[in-house]
């Protein structure tokens, strides 16, 4: 079999998307406290290992196999990828691409529970969650006969959901799961707006944001089958985060703050998330509008945790849920018919409320399914092995207690060593 140009591009895109998870590890590691940096990075790497294995054994089949009631694929249709290997080995490229999406989605959740989650509980949560939440939702939106897609009960009734690269499946899903875990685990000790810590390593945050932006060109563009479509996706993936970055910094200035590196990085992520579902369905001006609005609303959203009283440590809800929701709904406003299906268009392009209705229904289904299923899984783990570390462990630092490692060891003038947790190194 000769490797076609589309296959080559998808292989490259898969590598780019896989790189996003180490990028996320740097992003989260830099945002966290120094005494939690290793734990935050390890949660992303653990997701890479666990989700990849689950995806190969049964996850891919659940996300894309023969439909069972429009809710999920039959895991027996391609268990262990045997059917694909024997019947259509070229399909392994697409399966690998899908695995990278499942990995990054799961890793995103960890930012909401920084400083206080048991690593062992995370290792149990990851394979269960990706099996029972991510894979079924991916099937409902993208699978053949999925509930929200063409041939699905809801899709046929109100119109199929439009989600090119994961506003629903990746970002809303991860953001909602993060909110559920943050509520179940509770707040960090002494959590207040006044005591909120600054990133311990801002260069790590910028490095992580850079790797995420770089990988996102593969994330959004990996499934593009035509040069024109790929070009539009690339440009939109450049413009939306650029606009969000600028608006975030302007908003900081207008509100009397200094424009910060953290604000720039957060704006980039907000814009990337918002354009994800719409990257192939809006024109460049639409991408700028989506990005600019995401920069403003996400700036406001990240502060809501203090007013509403939940501890989303690294703003997974404020960035991924809010921007994913906005980007999904924005298709109903700014989507162009010639870039969707030739028939449906957004409200601003004369399409009426039909497309918006499809998007809102898909949002509601995603919200209910993700929240209920994640709550069941998290409560079960919390009630059995426990999901949260003790107060003493949280004080000393989760790196030392969960991994017996320290992110930094500082040598003093007299030769003694101190760790990032502030304790002498034995």
Q: What is the pLDDT of residues 347-402, one digit of tens each?
A: 999 999 999 999 999 999 999 999 999 999 999 999 999 999 998 898 888 999 99
414 belongs to a structural domain: no
Q: Determine which of 88-102, 129-143, 407-421 has the lowest per-residue pLDDT on average.
A: 407-421
Rounded CA separation 183/176 (Å): 11
Question: Rounded to 5, what percent of the chain is helix, strand, coil?
Answer: 70, 5, 25
Rounded CA separation 426/413 (Å): 17
pLDDT value at position 318?
97
Rounded CA separation 80/94 (Å): 15
94 belongs to a structural domain: yes
Domains identified in the chain, total number: 1
Give the pLDDT mean for 170-190: 95
426 belongs to a structural domain: no
Q: Which residues contact 103 (CB under 8 A, 6 or more apart)?
A: 18, 21, 47, 48, 51, 52, 55
Q: Is the pLDDT of residue 120 over 80?
A: yes
Picking from 163, 31, 53, the residue whose alpha carbon sits closest to that of residue 102 is 53
Pairing of strands 67-68, 409-411: unpaired
Counting residues of the chain whose pLDDT is more than 90, the rounded percentage is 83
Q: Is the pLDDT of residue 227 over 80?
A: no
H/E segment holding residue 413 = none
pLDDT value at position 86?
85
Q: Is the pLDDT of residue 2 over 80?
A: no
Q: Determine which of 159-168, 218-227, 249-258 has the lowest per-residue pLDDT on average.
A: 218-227
Q: Is the pLDDT of residue 237 over 90?
A: yes
Find where tokens 């092995």 sit. 385
77 belongs to a structural domain: yes
189 belongs to a structural domain: yes
pLDDT value at position 412?
60
Q: Determine which of 90-94, 101-105, 224-228, 326-330 has the lowest per-residue pLDDT on average.
A: 224-228
328 belongs to a structural domain: yes
For the purposes of burial, counting CB atoms within 10 Å of the CB of 383, is it exposed (0-12), middle (13-18) or buried (19 or more)? Answer: exposed
- The domain in which residue 42 lies consists of 5-403
Residue 147's SS3 state is coil
CATH number where 77 lies: 1.10.3430.10
Instruction: Count the residues in the chain.
Output: 426
Whether 218 and 16 have beta carbons less than 8 Å apart is answered as: yes
Whether 425 and 409 have beta carbons less than 8 Å apart is answered as: yes
88 belongs to a structural domain: yes
pLDDT value at position 409?
82
Residue 28's SS3 state is helix
Rounded CA separation 223/257 (Å): 40
Q: Is the pLDDT of residue 132 over 80?
A: yes
pLDDT value at position 226?
72
412 belongs to a structural domain: no
pLDDT band at 414, cuts 50/70/90?
A: low
DSSP type of residue 352 = T
């Amino acid at each position: 079999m000769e490797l076609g140009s589309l296959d080559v591009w998808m292989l490259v895109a898969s590598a780019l998307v896989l790189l996003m998870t180490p990028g996320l590890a740097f992003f989260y590691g830099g945002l966290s406290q120094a005494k939690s940096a290793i734990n935050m990075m390890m949660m992303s790497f653990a997701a890479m290992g666990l989700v990849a294995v689950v995806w190969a054994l049964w996850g891919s089949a659940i996300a894309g196999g023969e439909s069972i009631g429009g809710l999920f694929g039959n895991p027996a249709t391609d268990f262990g990828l045997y059917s694909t290997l024997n019947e259509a080995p070229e399909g392994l490229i697409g399966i690998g691409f899908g695995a990278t999406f499942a990995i990054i989605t799961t890793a995103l959740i960890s930012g909401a529970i920084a400083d206080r989650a048991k690593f062992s509980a995370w290792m149990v949560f990851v394979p269960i969650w990706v099996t029972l939440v991510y894979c079924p939702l991916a099937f409902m939106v993208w699978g053949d006969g999925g509930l929200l897609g063409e041939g699905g009960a809801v899709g046929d009734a109100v119109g199929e959901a439009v989600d090119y690269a994961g506003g629903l499946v990746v970002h809303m899903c991860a953001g909602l799961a993060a909110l559920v875990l943050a509520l179940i685990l509770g707040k960090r000790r002494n959590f207040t707006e006044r005591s909120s810590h600054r990133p311990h390593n801002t260069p790590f945050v910028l490095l992580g944001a850079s790797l995420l932006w770089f990988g996102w060109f593969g994330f959004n563009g990996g499934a593009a089958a035509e040069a024109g479509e790929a070009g539009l996706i690339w440009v939109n993936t450049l413009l939306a985060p650029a606009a969000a970055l600028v608006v975030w910094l302007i908003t900081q200035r207008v509100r009397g703050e200094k424009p910060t590196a953290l604000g720039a990085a957060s704006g980039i992520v907000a814009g990337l998330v918002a354009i994800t579902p719409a990257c192939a369905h809006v024109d460049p001006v639409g991408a700028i509008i989506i990005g600019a609005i995401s920069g403003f609303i996400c700036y406001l959203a990240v502060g809501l945790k203090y007013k509403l009283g939940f501890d989303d440590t690294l703003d997974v809800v404020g960035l991924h849920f809010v921007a994913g929701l906005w980007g999904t709904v924005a298709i109903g406003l700014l989507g162009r018919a010639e870039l969707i299906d030739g028939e449906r268009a957004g409200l601003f392009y004369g399409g009426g409320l039909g497309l918006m209705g499809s998007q809102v229904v898909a949002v509601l289904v995603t919200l209910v399914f993700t929240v209920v299923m994640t709550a069941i899984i998290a409560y079960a783990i919390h009630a059995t092995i426990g999901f949260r570390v003790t107060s003493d462990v949280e004080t000393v630092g989760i790196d030392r207690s969960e991994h017996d490692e320290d992110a930094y060891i500082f040598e003093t003038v007299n030769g003694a060593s101190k760790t990032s947790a502030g304790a002498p190194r034995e």
